[in-house]
Amino acid sequence: MIFMLPVGVALAFYLARGPVRFRAVVEAVVMLPLVLPPVAIGVFLLALFGRGGLLAFLGFAGTWLGASAAAAAVALPVFVRVARAALEDVDPRLEGMASVLGASPLRVALTITLPLAGRGLLAAFTLALARALGEFGATILVAGAIKGDTETLPIAIYQAFEHRGEATALCLVAAGLAFALALASAWLSPRRSA
Amino acid sequence: MSLDFAIQVERGSFRLELALSVPAGVTVLYGPSGAGKSLTLGALAGLVPATGRIELEGASLAGVPARRRRVGLVAQEGLLFPHLSVRANLRYGGAERMDEVVSVLELGDLLDRKPGGLSGGERQRVALGRALLAAPRALLMDEPLAALDRARRARIVPYLRRVAASFGGPILYVTHALDEALALGERVCVIDAGKKVTEGAPLEVFGAPRSELVPRLSGFENVLALTVVEHVGGDGVTRARLGGVELVVPTSEAAAGERVFFGLAASEVLVAIEEPRGISARNVLPATIAEATADEGAVLLRLSLAGAELVARVVPSAARALALEPGRKVFAVVKTSSFRPLAV
């Protein structure tokens, strides 16, 4: 998730404020994991990180780093969608005023846009976190299911399935976590009526 | 020190094409909403893409990004940064003359507050201070008083005057309020539908309008600068001089010898061919018709009085029945309450 954040913020910025050119293409690519079956994402990631893959030297496959990569891939579109809306809600006239006062584009982003979109960005992050925690299909392909190492919550549920009680308990934990995160996200989201 | 520009801006089907030279002091950009006033300021500040020429102190600003133009912008709603304190807002563009600006605009008590807790007038004072602290070479003000009620406007005008007097550079002040234009403007440029209609000294533009647009916007064919002679105690009226004519007008706060502005609609000026007697109107003034022109189902009469001029509007049948033609000696009759004070 930490890896995903700067990339996500940069992408959301581009989509909210960047040049119109290529925007649709970038948006489509970013949103791809949202509609692709997670298993397919796993296959893609494995092709990238697995034996003979372009990024095989990173040694992600079968490690917790691989699980993180899978989580990041599915969380990114969720984050970008919500974060973009938060950035678009910032009054562009305030940004214009900042630049008239002599601020560089970077300073405008850091001192005006990001702070004003802060709550929305946090909401985006929470929602993305919830999505990442639930990730299963891609993770099991890329990272496998090594107990105590790459064992994410959904994978633990899957493995505990033979013992019904344990699986149910884990499911309840998962549901509780997801509910808490979704609630936090909703609470953080900018209230339009306000 | 001057701001000279000749710019073109396209916004969909709207086209702005304006050339103007703004010397040091306050130049008012006056016009109806949608005329392109704010767009002009946006183009000068570098926020709206424009083609053409912009020169500030002889250096070209065309193609220079907003942050390097060093122009100050004060917007109608202030546009303070809501997440920053007043102090941080003020310091955003620079803090070199912080103490001076804080004392001139009396911002000392506001520094630790957030913009959300300020009144409209306080917000505009902070916005003005913030613009000044960025050490601009020109000031652009976009209807800075439009969001304020009458009492607040009156309270902030002295601050604007103080800033205008000490700033020393060109100030372009956008407004559609006649009283503001008269109170602050040293020059006025009227624009409509993206084009310049007329420009000149405020009294030339408003007092003897050469375009039909100006009285339609201002509501007054006659804008008069009167010199107060004396307040008639208890009656709520003031005797004031216009050229060689003495008028009885509603009382204002101005002291004897001071100049006050009044607006007078042409339709409120009656024309008589004999001196009326036993009439309640307090102003009966001998005049000569200098000019008579047809105007949308009415006749506009330009009356010349001793050292002054008034415009009267009469219906064509009255003009015919009384033979109101150039050269004819008449009397202009005006009620005191027809003079509307134009003080901010």
pLDDT given at position A193: 41
In the predicted model, what is the mean pLDDT of residues A5-32? 76
Is the confidence at residue A30, as pLDDT, over 90? no
**B222-341 in CATH: which number?**
2.40.50.100
The first and second tokens of residue A75, run together, are 């969380």
Q: Across the interface, do B46 and A116 touch by the CB < 8 Å criterion?
A: no
Cβ atoms < 10 Å from Cβ of B3: 25
Q: Is residue A193 part of a domain?
A: no
Q: B67: which chain A residues are within 8 Å (Cβ-Cβ)?
A: 99-104
**Nearest CB to B73; choose among A97, A111, A115:** A97
Is A99 within 8 Å of chain B by CB? yes
Angle of helix A4-17 relative to helix A64-88, nearest 10 degrees, comes to 30
User: Which of A91, A99, A116 is facing B67, going by the closest CB pair?
Assistant: A99
Cα three-residue angle B282-B285-B290, rounded to 5 degrees: 145
Q: Is A37 on the interface with B (CB under 8 A)?
A: no
Q: What are phi and psi of B316, to 5 degrees?
A: -55, -35
Q: Does A19 touch chain B (CB under 8 A)?
A: no
Which member of B67, B71, B73 has the closest CB to residue A103? Answer: B67
The answer to whether residue A194 neighbours chain B at the CB level (below 8 Å) is no
- pLDDT tens digit string along A56-89? 777 666 677 777 777 788 888 888 888 888 888 8
The complex's ipTM works out to 0.82
Residue ranges of alpha helices (H) inside chain A are 4-17, 23-35, 38-49, 64-88, 92-100, 105-108, 114-116, 118-133, 137-142, 153-159, 164-188
- Determine contact: B82 vs chain A, CB below 8 A: yes
Buried b (16+ CB within 10 A) or exposed e, B50-71: beeebebeeeebeeeebbebbb
| Total structural domains within chain A | 1
Rounded-to-integer distance, Cα A155 and Cα A160, Å: 8
Q: Do B67 and A115 touch (CB under 8 A)?
A: no
Tokens 């957030």 correspond to what residue?
B114
Which residue from A minimizes the CA distance to B74? A97
Return the sign of the alpha-carbon dihedral for residues B211, B213, B218, B219: positive
To test the contact with chain A by mutation, choose from B38, B83, B143 the residue with the greatest count of A C-beta atoms within 10 A, namely B83
Which phi-psi region, left, alpha or beta, contains residue B329 (left: φ > 0; alpha: ψ -120 to 50)?
beta
Chain A residues whose CB is inside 8 A of the B71 CB are 100
Q: How far apart are CA A108 and CA A114, in angstroms?
A: 9
pLDDT for res B321:
94
Predicted local confidence at residue B188, as pLDDT: 95
Nearest 5 degrees, angle CA B301-CA B304-CA B310? 60
- Chain B (168-227) residues lying within 8 Å, Cβ to Cβ, of chain A: none
Any idea where the domains of chain B sit in the sequence? 2-209, 222-341
Q: What is the domain range of residue A54?
A: 4-188
Average pLDDT, chain A: 77
The burial of A106, by beta-carbon neighbours within 10 Å (0-12 exposed, 13-18 middle, 19 or more buried), is given as: exposed
Whether A166 has a pLDDT exceeding 90, the answer reads: no
Q: Which chain B residues touch A96 with a CB distance below 8 Å?
A: 45, 47, 66
Q: Do A112 and B94 touch (CB under 8 A)?
A: no
B79 contacts in chain A (CB < 8 Å): 91, 93-94, 97
Q: Per the domain annotation, does A52 fall within a domain? A: yes
Among B326, B292, B310, smallest CA distance to B301 is for: B292
Residue A76 sits in a domain whose CATH number is: 1.10.3720.10
Q: Cβ A100–B83 below 8 Å, yes or no?
A: no
In this structure, the dihedral spanned by the alpha carbons of residues B153, B155, B158 and B162, taken in order and rounded to 10 degrees, is -100
**Considering CB atoms only, which of A102, A111, A112 is closest to B134?**
A102
- pLDDT tier at A148, thresholds 50, 70, 90: low
- Distance, in angstroms, between B83 CA and closest chain A CA? 7
CB proximity B65 to A under 8 Å: yes
**Chain A environment of B65 (Cβ under 8 Å):** 99
A5-9, A146-150, B96-100, B294-298: segment of lowest average pLDDT: A146-150
Q: What is the pLDDT along chain B (344 residues), one digit of tens a residue?
A: 799 999 999 998 999 999 999 999 999 999 998 899 999 999 999 999 999 999 998 899 988 999 999 999 999 888 999 999 999 999 998 888 999 999 989 999 999 999 999 988 899 999 999 999 999 999 999 999 988 888 888 888 888 998 998 898 999 999 988 999 999 999 999 999 999 999 999 988 998 777 788 888 888 999 999 999 999 877 889 999 998 899 999 998 888 899 999 999 999 999 999 999 999 999 999 999 999 998 888 999 999 998 889 999 999 999 999 999 999 999 999 999 999 999 87
What is the predicted pLDDT for the residue at A194? 40
Nearest-CB residue to A94 (from B79, B93, B130): B79
- DSSP string of A45-102, one letter each residue: HHHHHSTTSTTGGG--TTSHHHHHHHHHHHHHHHHHHHHHHHHHTS-HHHHHHHHHTT
CA distance B37 to B29: 7
pTM: 0.82
For domain B2-209, give the CATH superfamily. P-loop containing nucleotide triphosphate hydrolases (3.40.50.300)
Name chain A contacts of B82, Cβ cutoff 8 Å: 116
> In which band, very low, low, confident or very high, does the pLDDT at A47 lie, cut at 50, 70 and 90?
confident
User: Would A19 be classed as within a structural domain?
Assistant: yes
Of A36-45, A82-91, A132-141, B131-140, the least confident:
A132-141
Which helix (H) or strand (E) segment holds residue B285: the answer is: strand B283-295
